[in-house]
């Protein structure tokens, strides 16, 4: 039975009553759980004795014109999935519980969060870093698992945990995809049938660039152009960025070298914004 913990006091009491020495795994989410989330739960399950998830649609990480109010919240279905996955507890706070009136302290990572999504979603990673630090402080897990689909989010959290000496191990879970390559996302439910049919081009653009890289093209600009060329096959896809970046700092690079690279793409299909990425191996 997945125990529902709705406030910090209940969470702290539950945490304090865990058997001494039990390894606690944590999967923070915003709900609308899909197979990608469930693979993170399974990863936590395999590495920990006790697993807790959180479901909190964090208002702080949504911009004024983003989808906070329409973000899917299928709570009953989510709880069933957690139950089936054997997750012991779920933290389900209300917004006022997480952000008491007058809350005026925020966490801002200033390097890894600057490019890519950070450049087009001002304040997004400040909201993510703030809520994740709060959640880590409250849950005090031994390890926390985040999805590689949000590669920049993973990089920001890893940097924050390192810089603030947070005693937790951060693990990344691999991207889970539909049979046609579309990365699973809670936002895929917004796609019209026509947009859904075009969406796999995003993953195809990443795979095409990977193939070009493996065939000897190492110039970052040339690789990004190839990726954009694949997206251009559908007028329904409006690219926001298609970039080749250093895999750790996410800094700009001219050529892919011994550190490999992160290929990162964001695009709009109608009013839905999708992101995806692929890690290129180091150049031999």
Catalytically active residues, by annotation = 37
Q: Does 138 bind ligand PAF (CB under 6 A)?
A: no
Q: Does 277 bind ligand PAF (CB under 6 A)?
A: no
Q: Which residues of 149-168 are buried (b: 16+ CB within 10 A; e: fewer)?
A: bbbbbbbbbbbbbeeeebeb
Interface pick for ligand PAF out of 58, 148, 185, 188 (rule CB under 6 A): 58
Q: Which of residues 187-216 bind ligand PAF (CB under 6 A)?
A: none
Interface pick for ligand PAF out of 29, 130, 148, 272 (rule CB under 6 A): 29
Nearest one of 139, 156, 131 to 50, comparing CA atoms: 139
Task: Considering the complex, state which of residue 186 and residue 234 has its C-beta at the smaller distance from ligand PAF.
Answer: 186
Which range binds ligand PAF by CB under 6 A, 23-31, 111-119, 240-248, 259-267?
A: 23-31
Task: Considering the complex, state which of residue 97 and residue 219 has its C-beta at the smaller distance from ligand PAF.
Answer: 97
Collapse the DSSP code of 111 into the 3-class scheme (helix H, G, I; strand E, B; otherwise coil) and give the result. coil
Q: Does 39 bind ligand PAF (CB under 6 A)?
A: no
Q: Does 150 bind ligand PAF (CB under 6 A)?
A: yes
Q: Please spell the DSSP secondary structure of 177-239, one letter per residue.
A: B-TTSPBP-GGGGG--HHHHHHTHHHHHHHHHHHHHHHTT--BHHHHHHHHHHHHTT-TTEEE
Q: Does 78 bind ligand PAF (CB under 6 A)?
A: no
Interface pick for ligand PAF out of 5, 24, 28, 278 (rule CB under 6 A): 28
Q: Does 132 bind ligand PAF (CB under 6 A)?
A: yes
Q: Does 44 bind ligand PAF (CB under 6 A)?
A: no
Query: What is the dihedral sign for C-alpha 181, 282, 40, 136?
Result: negative
Nearest one of 107, 120, 122, 106 to 156, comparing CA atoms: 107
**What does residue 130 show for φ and ψ, rounded to 5 degrees?**
-65, -50
CB of 14 to ligand PAF, least distance (A): 19
| C-beta atoms surrounding 57 within 10 Å | 18
Task: Considering the complex, state which of residue 56 and residue 242 has its C-beta at the smaller distance from ligand PAF.
Answer: 56
DSSP single-letter state for residue 19: P
With beta carbons less than 8 A apart as the criterion, state whether 88 and 46 touch: no
Interacting residues toward ligand PAF by CB under 6 A: 28-30, 58, 61, 128, 131-132, 150, 153
């Amino acid at each position: 039975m997945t125990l529902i913990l709705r406030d910090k006091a209940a969470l702290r009491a539950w945490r304090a009553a865990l058997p001494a020495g039990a390894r606690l795994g944590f999967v923070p989410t915003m709900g609308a759980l899909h197979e990608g989330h469930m693979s993170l739960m399974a990863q936590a399950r395999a590495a920990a004795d006790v697993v807790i998830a959180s479901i909190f649609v964090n208002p702080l990480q949504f911009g004024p014109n983003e989808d906070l109010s329409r973000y899917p919240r299928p709570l009953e279905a989510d709880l069933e999935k957690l139950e089936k996955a054997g997750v012991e507890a779920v933290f389900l706070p209300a917004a006022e519980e997480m952000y008491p009136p007058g809350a005026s302290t925020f966490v801002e990572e200033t390097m890894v969060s600057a490019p890519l999504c950070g450049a087009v979603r001002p304040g997004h990673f400040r909201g993510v870093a703030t809520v994740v630090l709060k959640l880590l402080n409250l849950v005090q897990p031994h390890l926390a698992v985040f999805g590689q689909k949000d590669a920049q989010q993973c990089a920001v959290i890893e940097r924050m945990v390192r810089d603030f000496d947070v005693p937790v191990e951060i693990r990344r879970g691999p991207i889970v995809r539909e049979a046609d390559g579309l990365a699973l996302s809670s936002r895929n439910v917004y796609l019209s049938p026509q947009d859904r049919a075009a969406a796999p081009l995003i993953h195809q653009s990443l795979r095409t660039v990977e193939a070009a890289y493996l065939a000897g093209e190492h110039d970052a600009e040339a690789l990004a152009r190839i990726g954009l060329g694949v997206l251009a096959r559908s007028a329904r896809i409006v690219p926001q960025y298609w970039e080749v970046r250093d895999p750790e700092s996410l800094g700009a690079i001219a050529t892919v070298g011994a550190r490999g690279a992160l290929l990162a793409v964001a695009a709009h299909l109608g009013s839905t914004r999708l992101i995806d990425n692929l890690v290129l191996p180091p150049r031999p």
